[in-house]
Amino acid sequence: MKFFLALLLVLPAFSQSPVTRIACGSCYKPERDNGIWKVIAADKPETFLFMGDNIYADTTDPKVMAEKYRRLKTQPDYAAFSKNIPIIPIWDDHDYGQNDAGREYPMKEISARLFFETFDFPDDHPARQTPGVYHSRFLGPKGQRIQVIMLDTRTFRSALPQKKINRRSTYLPQTGPEATMLGKAQWQWLDAQLKEPADLRLIVSSVQVLATAHRFEKWGNMPDERAKFLALLATRYKSNPVPTLLFSGDRHLAEVCRLPKDQSDLPIDLLELTASGMTHAGAPDDPDPLRIKGTYTRKANYSLIDITWKKSTPSVTLTIKTSKGEVLTETKAF
């Protein structure tokens, strides 16, 4: 409860009025801006989830990273957008610092400082008091309260072994006690977050949680960690049943995956929306058995989360849109 009260104190910009529309996206290059911020602004979201690869730094030089962030903040459309619409950010590999990097990245402390400065985290924000950039925020009043959990899948993640299969580098499953996605402290923090009272929970992981069929980064590269995450959701749902949705970026495609309840210990189907990328997409179609048919696109994209508040539970619709604002697909979450 103390943590929750601290968040309310340091985040006065977030309204306590009911939130009914949230936008989200990832994989943005300011130098390749395509007018997408104006398009998203026209949809009038009340909050934007910036889900990683918010710049492409790819460096171990602090000056280079600082300059990349400066370009983001001074990009005219982004500057206007962020002035009027609160942004909840998390990082992925390219803004963390290097492609597919984990805990071995040598500049993670400096990178975290630049992240916090860029996105205007107050000096006394709880996320600044621990390694990494994981954090949570609450939106809306009691009875219509949304909890947004932003997971750091970079700072603590152990190395991923690779092997060439049919001339393509493929990540291999990593198991054992040293394999971790979140690290001990963040796991404990996540457990505490799942005990917090809320009426809708949105969990953002920069890399995909549910999809396992592709060869790239994903929670499925650490099957024990993925199973631990799903088991934790199920355990906490039993004592604190909050409607929960997953979100991710990274892949340069958009899709919605559904894990049926008969494949987990959860009493509900679990959905994950992937929205990537805002200025560049085009990832090949690697079909996943959990993908909801018709939701895949390789066009530049962003997504909307529309919430209708009812007496007891919220109704949520997930919409994938092109960078020009064209509706590609709508999915009724619950």
Per residue in 106-141, pLDDT (tens digit) is 999 999 999 999 999 999 999 999 999 999 999 999
Question: Helix, strand, coil shares of the chain as percentages rounded to 5?
Answer: 30, 25, 50
Specify the pLDDT at position 316. 98
Q: Which two tokens stand for residue 156?
A: 């603590």
Compute the half-sphere exposure of residue 257: CA atoms within 13 Å on the CB side of its CA. 21
Show Cβ contacts of residue 113 under 8 Å, excluding neighbours closer than 6 positions.
none
- For the residues 210-214, what does the mean pLDDT come to? 95
Length of the chain: 334
Locate the DSSP E strands across the chain.
21-25, 47-50, 87-89, 135-139, 146-151, 162-165, 168-171, 200-205, 244-248, 254-259, 270-275, 301-309, 314-322, 327-332
Show Cβ contacts of residue 294 under 8 Å, excluding neighbours closer than 6 positions.
329
Q: What is the pTM of this model?
A: 0.95
Spatial contact of 208 and 272, defined as CB atoms under 8 Å apart: yes
Spatial contact of 60 and 108, defined as CB atoms under 8 Å apart: no
Specify the pLDDT at position 167. 77
Nearest to 331 by CA among 281, 291, 279, 283: 291
Specify the pLDDT at position 310. 84
Q: What is the pLDDT of residues 164-179, one digit of tens each?
A: 888 788 898 999 999 9
Specify the pLDDT at position 52. 98
Specify the pLDDT at position 284. 87
Percent of the chain with pLDDT over 70: 95
Euclidean distance between CA atoms 288 and 272, whole angstroms: 13
Indicate the CATH number of 2-332 among 3.60.110.10, 3.90.580.10, 3.60.21.70, 3.30.70.600: 3.60.21.70
Instruction: Count CB neighbours of 260 within 10 A.
Output: 11
Q: Judge residue 193's burial from the number of C-beta atoms within 10 Å of its C-beta, 0-12 exposed, 13-18 middle, 19 or more buried.
A: buried
Q: To which residue do tokens 């979100």 refer?
A: 247
Task: Share the mean pLDDT of the chain.
Answer: 94
The yes-or-no verdict on residue 210 having pLDDT over 70 is yes
